[in-house]
Structure 1
Amino acid sequence: MSIKTRKLPNNDCFHSSKRYGEGIALSYISTSWMVDEFISEPRELEFLEYKENATAQFQALKESFANNSITSIHTARSLGVQREWAEYKFFAHDEINAPENVLVYVNDKGEVVPFSEEERNLILEWQSGEKYPISGIQGHHMKLVKNNPDNIDLAANPDNILFATEEGHREFLHGGNTQNATDPEYFKYSLTMDEKFELTVNYNEDLITLGLIKKGALSVGSSMALYSSIRMLIEWYRLKNDPRPWHRKREELVKTGIATALFGGGLSAVGYLTRISMDGFFADFTPSMLDHFFTEMVAINGSFFIITVTGSLLRYIWEVRKGKSQEEAKKDLQTMLMVATAELLAFSALGLGLDILVDFATDTIMDALIPDPTGILIAARVGYGIAKLGKKVWDGKQNKEALIQCIAIRMNYFYELARNKFRPDDFDFRLT
Structure 2
Amino acid sequence: MKSSEMKNKDLLLYAVTDRKWLKDGVTLADECKKAIDGGVTMIQLREKELGYDDFLAQAKELKTLCQSRGIPFIVNDNVQIAIEVGADGIHVGQEDMHADDVRKLAGKDMILGVSAQNVEEAVTAEKNGADYLGVGAVFPTSSKDDASEVDFETLKEICQSVSIPVVAIGGITEDNIKELKGSGIVGISVISAIFAQEDIKDACERLCANTERILPADSSAYKDIKGAIFDIDGTVIDSMKIWDKAGLMFLEKHGIKGDDDLGKRLFAMTIGDAGKYIQENFLPNMKPEEISAGVNDVIRGFYINDAQPKEGMIELIKTLKEEGVKLTVATSTDRDVFMPCLERLGLDKYFDGIFTCTEVGHSKAEPEIFNQALELMGTSPKETWVFEDGLYSAKTAKSLGMKVAAVYDETSRHDWDEFRLMADAIIRIND
Normalised-by-shorter TM-score class: under 0.3
Q: TM-score, normalised by structure 1?
A: 0.25
Higher helix share: 1
Higher strand share: 2
Q: TM-score, normalised by structure 2?
A: 0.25
Give the number of the structure with larger relative contact order, counting CA–CA contacts within 8 Å between residues 6 or more apart.
Answer: 1
